[in-house]
Amino acid sequence: MFETLKGRIPKSIDEEEYRKFAVMVALVKQDDGLNVVFEKRAGGLKRQPGEICLPGGARDGNESSEENAIREMMEELKVSREQIHMIAQMDTLYTAYDNKVSVYLCELTDYEMTYNADEVAEIFTVPLKFFMETEPVAYVNTVRLLPPDNFPYEQIPGGRNYHWRDGHKKVYFYYYKDWIIWGLTAYVLRGVVRTLKAELPGIECGKLVV
């Protein structure tokens, strides 16, 4: 009866209820070695105008997470598919806001700092070495459950005096020159760097190629 469950690949509970996003950590070779490409979001955007982010966005239709990451980078940086050389899918981030963020690492070749002005105000790069050598500053936020007015308190032990546990979530900040890279973007970068250090011992930033 349960034979068909053997070998199944587990996923997150309520996976289908998460909004799906993908971001790309794009590496470009410059005079000082490998650099990470960042965007400053256009001021006219409805969500997070003016913030620093990685190329990426919401999944479109039935595309895969990898197709999602590639399409968004092509649209935002105005590059061709042939310029994008995938290295690996990195670890996935699940947020407190029911978002699933798939993360990819690639090398971007022949990039001339182009971008779609409708979505992006500015492009800049930061040496990968900076992130390999710098720990982000961490601030701890409290995450608290706030039940709605119609919550059925009478159905749980303790009623309105039920002791809800607070959660704690770190918010990271990287400070590079005049740029502040924080929030989800910093969280993703920190995760990618930790993976590179763990799985590529002795990594030399300038020699990481596809």
pLDDT tens figures, 92-113: 999 888 899 999 999 999 999 9
How does pLDDT run across 59-80, given as a tens digit for each residue?
998 999 999 999 999 999 999 9
Which of the 8 DSSP states describes residue 55?
A: S
pLDDT at residue 203 above 70? no
Q: What separation in angstroms does the CA of 117 have from each of 37, 108, 123, 148?
A: 16, 19, 10, 41
How does pLDDT run across 119-154, given as a tens digit for each residue?
899 999 999 999 999 999 999 999 989 999 999 999
d(CA 28, CA 170): 29
Q: Which range (46-55, 180-189, 200-209) has the least confidence?
A: 200-209
Per-residue pLDDT at 104: 97
How does pLDDT run across 164-194, given as a tens digit for each residue?
999 999 999 999 999 999 999 999 999 999 9
